[in-house]
Structure 1
Amino acid sequence: MLELEHTTKTHDEARQGEALDMLPTGKSTGRKLYIESYGCQMNFSDSEIVASILLDNGFETTKDYKEADVVFINTCSIRENAEQRVRNRLKEFESAKNRNPGMIVGVLGCMAERLKSKFLEEEKLVDVVVGPDAYRDLPNLIGKVDDGNKAVNVLLSREETYADINPVRLNSNGISAFVSIMRGCDNMCSFCVVPFTRGRERSRDHQSIVKEAHELFQAGYKEVTLLGQNVDSYKYSAPVAEGEEPKPTVNFAQLLAMVAEVSPELRVRFSTSHPKDITDEVLYTMARYENICKYIHLPVQSGNSRVLDLMNRTYDRAWYIERVDAIRRIIPECGISTDVITGFCTETEEEHEETLSMMDYVKYDFAYMFAYSERPGTLAAKRYADDIPEDVKKRRLTEVVNKQQQHSLFRAQNFVGKVHKVLIEGFSKRSDQDYCGRNDQNTMVVFPVDSRFKPGQYVHVLAERCTSATLMGKIVD
């Protein structure tokens, strides 16, 4: 599950990304493309790949769907309300299509993969359905729709990584960028649809990743986030010809070091880590490089070993605590965030209390907190009854949220009075008199604009006060 921001979330908010106007890179067709993305950072990264493919085929992008010839919505299936938001948004597109009958509406991503051709029956507005591994086929599929047909391609791949495609940075601030290092997931967590919607795990060529990071830095970007459903299981071995010696396998710790060495001025972040796979080698690599941010998203999901076993998380409470202890020992200043699910099948009050006690032990900086939502086709849906009443799920969720707010405030208060290195990302959401950016631990920092500095530069900020999610302070020399 990938969904990382710097604020506490109680549910998977649909994050909406609108493509910006830009010139086509291929011969122009005069057709305009609009892409809207929901869910995880991987979806936003995929939308940049889609834009690149279609710009190479003569499209221009627009930030107004009403003037688009092709409208795509890149979808999330991680929770039921995420899918409902997509359906609601499609209804909003309907009036635009009524005014422009030639408009093509397509659904991309995980929801497309889960529902496949059934989506065309459920949503008459939709013309094309495309899964995460079939984006190269989009020009062909659009052509089929132009000829009066509906089009579907949801074939999953064991090889596709889009390593050769240079993503178009949509809605970019020109400072931070996502770099996908792998696709798919081999972890069969019983509550999760990702292995079914994104296919088996495969890692991208490390040389193409380093090349992309270098090109981003040369273009002025100062921060990259390496993305994967489980970055710690990254493992790339170059193919060898018959008779050749096998080439060394590159693991995630080695990849992290390679990207960090692009430049000490390039910040490196990553998400998401899996507790069963994060190694001391990764932690020591993070400690060794100043420009690898000291922040790890380490989903716990539950603090009870029996529930973790039902979830098929492949670690228990003791293992998770040992990994947290290793992080605190090797990187004492490291920020840690998490995901928590309340009300999973058969969860008792005592087991819920163990989740709360785990939160007390770790005192997470941030958390994404959810009431369990059964997803069709998952192992949990097949094996277990969704037997916790909704009011109990919500009450437990409220208890988790309240505890996390206390811990977030505790962590933020520990930052007050200290100086933080901050990469200026732009103006704050509330005022153009303030800049904002994040510290190493991924906490948002807000501070008055100083004419000596501009977005994309590093500054040192003294934190003077805080909320549970934000530090406020001033630039110091």
Structure 2
Amino acid sequence: MEPNRIRDVLVGKTYYIRTFGCQMNLHDSERVSGLLDSFGCLEAASPEGADIVVFMTCCVREAADQRLYGQCSSMKSLPPSPSGHRVIAVGGCIAQRDGEGLLTNVDNVDVIFGTHSLGHVAELIARSFEDGSRQVFTPEDVQDEATSLPWHRAVSYHAWVPIMTGCNNFCSYCIVPYVRGREKSRTIEEVVDEVGGLVRAGVREVTLLGQNVNSFGRDRYGHPRFAELLRQVGDTGIERIRFTSSHPKDLLPETIDAMAEVPSVMPQLHLAVQSGSTRILKEMNRRYTREQYLDLIDRIRDRIPGIALSTDIIVGFPGETEEDFLETLSLAQTVGYAQAFTFIYSRREGTPAARIEDPTPREVIQNRFDRLVKVIEGTAYDFNQQALGRTIPVLVEGFSKKDSHMLQGKSPKNQTVHAPLPEGWTPEDVVGHIVDVEVDRARTWYLSGTVAGEPR
């Protein structure tokens, strides 16, 4: 379909995008939004006011499938859209995995597009509007350059910047390599140019995205060049750099050095361990041992004292024993994580781990999960106590949902920070700006205090 024809069909239509899953999905949603904007569509505040509803999906855990089915089913009870015809589209990892088969599970979906085909979304939706057909496009051998698509960022001060797509690790529990494909790195020059443009546009913070940023460049240059990328991105003048995800087996000494030496790289690292048991790590195909992970933590802390460490941990991997779990528990206590994302293992068809039988009762797994959560709550609380009495720079993101006069933002260590809006200040004075906050209260998941000085 010609672009002018697509615009004729879509101009004036309203759209709403709901995103599930990882930061890469958030970035993909911003690109889909930008593409629809470019054809004259208008963003709606809710599904009720939208002619186009897009679900960007994740399939890492089984609950994601049920959540999608529930969301699609709820669309049936909505009042008619502004145009009288609503198109429902599903993208992301579930769409890539299931393709046309998704049509049998959700009978009111009109468009399905995969992780490699964002650039075709507008055309697929326009075709569905034009003749009422159900459109499916989930090729595995086509890689849209999503970074070249128009961009509708959710906020002006932060940007997601993908540096690579895909994954080569094939952890035995993970479906991501099957729905995102193999690793494909952008050039260093392309990423640096993009960040430089963002700086000129007023962006204060970027998050570099990849399923494993530590292997950035291996496919293109023959060896990882993530450390070099960090240094060059730091030279653009960007004030804050974060990145995710970071695989322990590929975190090189030169990357740790770059993190320590580039002032704009924030003192925070998400380093997924998944398990504290070497036996389970081998079953997971993680390719490092408990001892190697803890040695890596020591080396990181030696170069970056006070760094905030976060992680992912899976409880109940098939065959996990109480001894294995106790090793995970002790590792979490030893590391002293500032934050952890804890999950009960979710069986994913098509992954090697899905073939492993496990007789462990669900109540045993739940008990282990609850014990781990208590340990993480303790380490997070202890970590936050270090901020008491200190003045820290906070990038203000908005206001607390519970109190519209309470600022909410992030510290360099990615801690959530609250502070009352000073008298005479307006939201425009502070959102997207950095303010110093004197911390007088430290809880498990947040810090609070008072603003000291002017926003900058």
Query: Fold match, TM over 0.5?
Result: yes
Residue 371 of structure 2 is matched in structure 1 by 399
Residue 119 of structure 2 is matched in structure 1 by 136
Asked which structure has the greater RCO (Cα within 8 Å, sep 6+), the reply is 1
Query: Match for 1:448: what amino acid?
Result: P
Residue 104 of structure 1 is matched in structure 2 by 87
Structure 2 length-normalised TM = 0.92
User: Among residues 105, 108, 132, which one is paired with 1:122 in the alignment?
Assistant: 105
Residue 409 of structure 1 is matched in structure 2 by 381
Map residues 216-235 of structure 1 onto 2, 5 A cutoff.
Answer: 216-235=198-217
Q: 1:205 to 1:157 in 2, by over 3 A?
A: farther
SS at match of 1:116: helix
Q: After TM superposition, give the deviation of residue 468 of structure 1 in Å.
A: 0.3
Query: Match for 2:152: what amino acid?
Result: V
Q: After TM superposition, give the deviation of residue 429 of structure 1 in Å.
A: 2.8
Residue 461 of structure 1 is matched in structure 2 by 437
Does the CA contact (< 8 Å) of 2:14 and 2:52 recur in 1? Answer: yes
User: Among residues 63, 70, 73, which one is paired with 1:81 in the alignment?
Assistant: 63
Structure 1: distance between partners of 2:126 and 2:449: 54
Q: After TM superposition, give the deviation of residue 380 of structure 1 in Å.
A: 0.6
1:314 matched to 2:314? The reply is no
Q: After TM superposition, give the deviation of residue 181 of structure 1 in Å.
A: 1.2
Gap runs ≥5 in structure 2: 1-5
What is the percentage of aligned positions where both structures have the same residue?
A: 36
1:196 matched to 2:168? The reply is no
User: Among residues 72, 75, 78, which one is paired with 2:54 in the alignment?
Assistant: 72
User: Among residues 131, 135, 148, which one is paired with 1:164 in the alignment?
Assistant: 148
Q: After TM superposition, give the deviation of residue 26 of structure 1 in Å.
A: 6.9
Q: After TM superposition, give the deviation of residue 249 of structure 1 in Å.
A: 7.0
Structure 2: distance between partners of 1:210 and 1:250: 16
SS at match of 1:192: coil
1:155 matched to 2:139? The reply is yes
Structure 2: distance between partners of 1:209 and 1:26: 30
User: Among residues 386, 391, 400, which one is paired with 1:419 in the alignment?
Assistant: 391
User: Among residues 323, 326, 334, which one is paired with 2:296 in the alignment?
Assistant: 323
Structure 2: distance between partners of 1:112 and 1:151: 12
SS at match of 1:74: strand
SS at match of 1:126: coil
User: Among residues 325, 342, 353, which one is paired with 1:380 in the alignment?
Assistant: 353
Structure 1: distance between partners of 2:106 and 2:142: 29
Q: 1:159 to 1:140 in 2, by over 3 A?
A: closer
* Structure 1 residue ranges (4+ consecutive) displaced by more than 3 angstroms after TM superposition: 25-28, 97-101, 157-161, 247-250
Residue 21 of structure 1 is matched in structure 2 by none
Q: 1:399 to 1:260 in 2, by over 3 A?
A: same
Query: Match for 2:386: what amino acid?
Result: N
- With 108-117 and 201-210 compared, the bigger mean Cα shift is at 201-210
SS at match of 2:78: helix
SS at match of 2:374: helix
1:367 matched to 2:340? The reply is yes
Gap runs ≥5 in structure 1: 1-24, 239-246
Query: Match for 1:82: what amino acid?
Result: A
Query: Match for 1:179: what amino acid?
Result: V
Query: Match for 1:467: what amino acid?
Result: R
SS at match of 2:272: coil
Residue 3 of structure 2 is matched in structure 1 by none
Does the CA contact (< 8 Å) of 1:97 and 1:103 recur in 2? Answer: no
Give the structure with the higher percent helix.
2
Residue 7 of structure 1 is matched in structure 2 by none
Does the CA contact (< 8 Å) of 2:408 and 2:419 recur in 1? Answer: yes
1:352 matched to 2:335? The reply is no
Structure 1: distance between partners of 2:263 and 2:125: 46
Residue 43 of structure 1 is matched in structure 2 by 25
Q: After TM superposition, give the deviation of residue 377 of structure 1 in Å.
A: 1.1
User: Among residues 255, 265, 276, which one is paired with 1:303 in the alignment?
Assistant: 276
Query: Match for 2:267: what amino acid?
Result: K
Structure 1 length-normalised TM = 0.88
Structure 2: distance between partners of 1:419 and 1:50: 39
Does the CA contact (< 8 Å) of 1:275 and 1:320 recur in 2? Answer: yes
Residue deviations 1:258-317 (CA, integer Å, cap 9, x gap): 211111x52111111000011111111111122110100011110000100111111111
Does the CA contact (< 8 Å) of 2:312 and 2:341 recur in 1? Answer: yes
Structure 2: distance between partners of 1:345 and 1:237: 32
Structure 2: distance between partners of 1:121 and 1:98: 23
User: Among residues 250, 256, 281, which one is paired with 2:230 in the alignment?
Assistant: 256
SS at match of 2:97: helix
Residue deviations 1:184-203 (CA, integer Å, cap 9, x gap): 11110111111111111111
Q: After TM superposition, give the deviation of residue 236 of structure 1 in Å.
A: 6.7
Structure 2: distance between partners of 1:273 and 1:444: 21
Does the CA contact (< 8 Å) of 1:206 and 1:236 recur in 2? Answer: no
Query: Match for 2:336: what amino acid?
Result: K
Does the CA contact (< 8 Å) of 2:89 and 2:125 recur in 1? Answer: no
Q: 1:208 to 1:417 in 2, by over 3 A?
A: same
- With 30-39 and 205-214 compared, the bigger mean Cα shift is at 205-214
User: Among residues 179, 182, 187, which one is paired with 2:169 in the alignment?
Assistant: 187
Q: After TM superposition, give the deviation of residue 98 of structure 1 in Å.
A: 6.4
